[in-house]
Amino acid sequence: MQQVKEILIVDDETVINEAIIKICREAGFRADASEDAFLALKKLQKKNYDLILCDIMMPGVDGFQFLEEFKKLNRQTPVIMITGYSTLEFTMQAFSKGAIDFVPKPFTFEELISTVKRGIAFAEIQREIEKSKNSNKLDSIIYVSCPSKYFKLSYFSWANFELEGYVSVGVTDLFLKTIGAPESIKLEEISNGVVQGAPFCEITAKDGLPHRPLSPLSGKIIERNEHLPEEISLLEKDPYFSGWIYRIIPEEINYEKKFLIPCGADRY
């Protein structure tokens, strides 16, 4: 029998905790809540969870301080931030401190569940990686990392800086592994803008849940991969080359590049 996944919610708003607990239970997860980040850290010293959802703006220990203190526990549990202040600075600060994702307030049922399911899948993938290391099966390929010359935003998306001055962008194989097999994709129109840290397409998985990966950079779309809506399998088969999503002219490259992680870095 498969073990029920356990989620810890850290938010000072009782109504938010109750809403998330209800939604998670309806989706088959077991959820626990704490309205105090300091007490949540005490709880985490005694018990392991599969996923943590943590608010950013809280009295006393806020979400960023929580991330710093949680890192000291040396746990691999993924942390997803909950925020009503989804600015670029907050998003990037959360990622730099170790969060893998965020849920905006207010959220819909689908937004929360799709994010939670990705977080649970992310945790399972990390466990598989640790298991393969411990068993010396170093040749075991769990997901394909993006090429070393690329850059990535969290585990969502990648950017490849081309010689011609434009940037190709797409989603990582790790992101695709967390959503399961993609069923369809909705693309932005050519000449539309994409914004770093904001959704830049919508991918619907075979379970019907929509997932909106975040763009690695801001810029104007000059070309989009018209093959993807008709041949969605390209995303899984070749996410870093023929499965690219857009080519863009970047707008704030000198500022935004500092928020990206080189694909050769030992993270995700």
Q: Domains in the chain, ordered, with CATH?
A: 6-134 (3.40.50.2300), 151-262 (2.40.50.100)
Q: What is the chain's Cα-based Rg?
A: 18
Taking the whole predicted model, whether its pTM rises above 0.85 is answered as yes
Q: Count of alpha carbons within 13 Å of 80, Cβ hemisphere only?
A: 29
How is the beta sheet containing 201-205 ordered, strand by strand? 182-187, 201-205, 210-211
User: What backbone phi and psi angles, to 5 degrees, belong to 11?
Assistant: -155, 135
**Taking the C-alpha atoms of 190, 193, 195 and 199 in order, what is their torsion angle to the nearest 10 degrees?**
-50
**DSSP label of 170:** E
- Of 109, 50, 53, nearest in space to 80 by CA: 53
How far apart (Å, rounded) are the C-alpha atoms in residues 216 and 151?
8
Q: How far is CA 147 from CA 196, 213, 215, 238, 265, in A?
A: 20, 19, 18, 12, 11
Q: Count of alpha carbons within 13 Å of 258, Cβ hemisphere only?
A: 6
pLDDT in tens, 26-40: 999 999 999 999 999
Predicted pLDDT at 138 = 53
Predicted pLDDT at 2 = 59
Predicted pLDDT at 1 = 46
Is residue 239 within 8 A of residue 144, CB to CB? The reply is yes
How far apart (Å, rounded) are the C-alpha atoms in residues 57 and 63?
6
How far apart (Å, rounded) are the C-alpha atoms in residues 57 and 84?
8
| DSSP string computed for 96-111 | HTT--EEEESS--HHH
Task: pLDDT tens for the chain, 268 residues: list them.
Answer: 457 899 999 999 999 999 999 999 999 999 999 999 999 999 999 999 999 999 999 999 999 999 999 999 988 899 999 987 767 788 888 998 999 999 888 889 999 999 999 999 999 999 888 887 776 655 557 899 999 999 999 999 999 998 788 999 999 999 999 999 999 999 999 988 999 999 999 999 999 999 999 999 999 999 999 999 999 999 999 999 999 999 999 998 889 998 999 997 666 6
Positions of E strands within the chain: 6-10, 30-34, 51-55, 79-83, 101-104, 151-153, 157-161, 167-171, 182-187, 193-194, 201-205, 210-211, 219-224, 246-250, 261-262
